[in-house]
């Protein structure tokens, strides 16, 4: 809410008085701020919300659990909005669908390479030198649907292939898609002997990738909060 001030034509003496009053007004409000954590869905009579496990239709495994957790934690930040487990008793259900392109190499792409030289060159033996990936990027999409007291048939419809085609539904409060992108640096240690660090390159890279995906899920939740605030 913005305060509007109207300034009539005044003399210098009155102008000084008005300036002093304005200073007192601003001083008195110096410690005041608006609370942006109130339930943004209260206007739709939504006080309880259910968040079932998100559907993962992407080529990236194990995304559903961390994404559902981060979105749920984001909703818990709002005063007056309670997340409950029973969708039948909730005022609304938030459906999440994680999607990506069909092929892994279209989703996870090499963004930076390094030439096999120095210590790493010893690992390839007599093979021809080549460029190996040291950084990868990935992208996917999170589709969110907030629907008031849906029936099983309505949930089945919104989560089916026809769901994206449903542009208007009397029970749907919010329908949006968040595009997500992340990157991670790969480990490429030499692997000439059994004692070299390169023996666990795959394990290290798998852990780094999973950590990056978890960070991206957190960013998705923060974006979702901004979407909700801006929409409502």
Residue 2 lies in a domain: no
Residue 3 lies in a domain: no
Least confident of 10-19, 46-55, 107-116, 169-178: 10-19
Residue 173 lies in a domain: yes
pLDDT at position 66: 96
Residue 6 lies in a domain: no
pLDDT at position 151: 93
Place of tokens 């029936």: 151
Q: Quick check: 36 pLDDT over 80?
A: no
- CA-based end-to-end distance of the chain: 14
Q: Quick check: 6 pLDDT over 50?
A: no
pTM over cut 0.75? no
Q: What is the CATH number of the domain that holds 213?
A: 3.30.160.150
Q: Quick check: 133 pLDDT over 50?
A: yes
Place of tokens 């496990």: 53
Report pLDDT digits (tens) over 191-203. 555 555 445 455 5
Q: Quick check: 96 pLDDT over 60?
A: yes
Across the chain, the runs of DSSP E, i.e. the strands, are 48-50, 55-57, 82-84, 92-99, 108-115, 131-148, 172-185
Mean residue pLDDT across the chain: 78
Q: Which helix (DSSP H) or strand (DSSP E) does residue 148 occupy?
A: strand 131-148
Average pLDDT estimate for 89-95:
95
Q: Which domain holds residue 92?
A: 12-231
Tell me how many domains the chain contains.
1
Task: Find, among 180, 50, 47, 187, the residue nearest to 114 by Cα.
Answer: 187
Q: Quick check: 109 pLDDT over 50?
A: yes
Residue 174 lies in a domain: yes
CB count in 10 Å sphere of residue 145: 24
């Amino acid at each position: 809410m913005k305060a509007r001030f109207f300034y009539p034509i005044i003399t210098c003496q009155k102008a000084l008085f008005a300036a002093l009053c304005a200073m007192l007004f601003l001083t008195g409000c110096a410690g005041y701020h608006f609370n942006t954590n109130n339930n943004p869905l209260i206007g739709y009579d939504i006080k309880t919300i259910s968040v079932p496990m998100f559907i993962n239709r992407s080529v990236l495994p194990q995304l559903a659990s961390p994404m559902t957790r981060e979105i749920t934690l984001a909703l818990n930040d709002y005063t007056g909005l309670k997340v409950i487990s029973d969708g039948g008793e909730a005022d609304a259900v938030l459906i999440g669908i994680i999607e990506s392109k069909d092929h892994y190499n279209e989703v996870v792409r090499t963004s930076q390479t390094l030439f096999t030289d120095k210590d790493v060159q010893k690992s390839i033996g007599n093979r021809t030198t080549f460029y190996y990936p040291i950084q990868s990027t990935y992208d996917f999409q999170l589709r969110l649907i907030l629907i008031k007291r849906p029936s099983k048939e309505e949930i089945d419809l919104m989560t089916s292939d026809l769901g994206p085609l449903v542009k208007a539904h009397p029970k749907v409060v919010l329908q949006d898609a968040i595009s997500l992108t992340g990157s991670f640096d790969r480990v490429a240690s030499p692997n000439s002997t059994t004692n070299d660090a390169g023996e666990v390159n795959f394990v290290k890279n798998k852990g780094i990738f999973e950590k990056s995906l978890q960070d991206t899920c957190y960013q998705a939740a923060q974006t979702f909060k901004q979407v909700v605030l801006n929409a409502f």
